[in-house]
Homo-oligomer: A and B are copies of this chain.
Amino acid sequence: MEVGVIGVDVGGTKMTAGLYREEIVKLLRVQVDRGAGAEGGFKVICDMLVDLFNEARLRGFSVERIGVGFGGPVDFESGVVYLSHHVRGWENFPLRDELERRFGVSVVVDNDANAGALGEWVFGAGRGIDDLIYVNIGTGIGSGVISGGRLVRGWRNLAGEIGHMTVKLDGPVCSCGRRGCLESLASGSAIGREGSERFGRAMRSEEIFELALEGNAIARQILFEVIDSLAFAIGAAVNLFNPRKVILGGGVAEVSESLLVEPLRERLSYYTLREVYEGLEVVRAELGYDAGVMGAIALAIVMF
């Protein structure tokens, strides 16, 4: 193509931006102090964009559009951020309009779960699949759903909140204040917390996966419970959306197939109607570490 696009992934403490023209031709990644707030974060975004616009000019093409995947709820219609759960100052920030005013190109802003789903749909494990659920299992758990070739957004672009589906009424307290949400049982932080409790020392989820691979019984039991919670919630979503593929992304999903994806695929049969389970594929996301920025690029390409 004669032109390129830019994708920006806005995290709590990490900003990533990529200039894309058939492939990512330049990628920038910047750590941001959480204390810098929305103001500091926005300044970093603008600096990265100036850099990438310059790069495009040097390479002799123009930037047609900017896609932004934001780590929190966004009003897609207006491009205004509702808030960030991690960084102060983003409440009602008109991110799209501010960027359009400064850079003079059209901008699309969405939450990072929707961007992640679009990324896998355009570039990854969801290519050619018009009915898919993308579940990101990392520090938190979010999902984006494509149904009939379109993102399911809901009334206020808040659809896909699988992380806050109740799984266990008497489960741990969740970041949202309620109890037993999927996120409180199966996120990376929840796995670490569970391991720390049962092993009696501070642990991260990665270590528990390693112990499970080595055959440690406690670690295997933790994983069994995590997979059961995931199957319960994803099974409900599968009954409701009838997807052809479930795509698992995020740090937790990057462990070996045999530890998470295969047992989850089997366990899903307990929680889904037979007709809906038939032919369902459960796979890992393909985009890995750059999923965020690839999702933002997909937003810029698809959502106009």
Q: Does residue A61 face the partner (Cβ distance < 8 Å to B)?
A: no
Nearest CB in chain B to that of A132: its residue = B155
Residues of B within 8 Å of A203, CB to CB, are none
Residues of B within 8 Å of A275, CB to CB, are 73, 82, 156, 158
Main secondary structure of the interface of A (DSSP, over half): loop
Between A147, A155, A164, A271, the greatest number of chain B beta carbons within 10 A of the residue's beta carbon is seen for A155
Are B243 and A166 touching (Cβ within 8 A)?
Answer: no
Query: Would A270 and B178 be within 8 Å (CB), given that A131-B155, A152-B147 are in contact?
Result: yes
Residues of B within 8 Å of A154, CB to CB, are 131, 147, 241-243, 276
Are A242 and B155 touching (Cβ within 8 A)?
Answer: yes
Q: 24 pairs across A/B with beta carbons < 8 Å?
A: A73-B275, A130-B155, A147-B154, A148-B152, A150-B150, A152-B240, A154-B276, A155-B242, A155-B243, A155-B279, A156-B279, A158-B242, A158-B275, A158-B276, A160-B240, A161-B240, A161-B276, A164-B239, A165-B235, A165-B236, A166-B235, A178-B270, A233-B236, A236-B240
Nearest CB in chain B to that of A275: its residue = B158
Are B239 and A273 touching (Cβ within 8 A)?
Answer: no
Are B236 and A273 touching (Cβ within 8 A)?
Answer: no
Q: Does residue A157 face the partner (Cβ distance < 8 Å to B)?
A: yes
Residues of B within 8 Å of A164, CB to CB, are 239, 272-273, 276
As for how many copies of this chain the complex holds, the number is 2
Which residues of A line the B interface, CB within 8 A?
A: 73, 82, 130-131, 143, 145, 147-148, 150, 152-162, 164-166, 176-178, 232-233, 235-237, 239-244, 270-276, 279
Assembled-state Cα–Cα distance A5/B177 (Å): 51
Give the Cβ gap from A167 to chain B, nearest Cβ, in Å.
9
Residues of B within 8 Å of A176, CB to CB, are 273-274
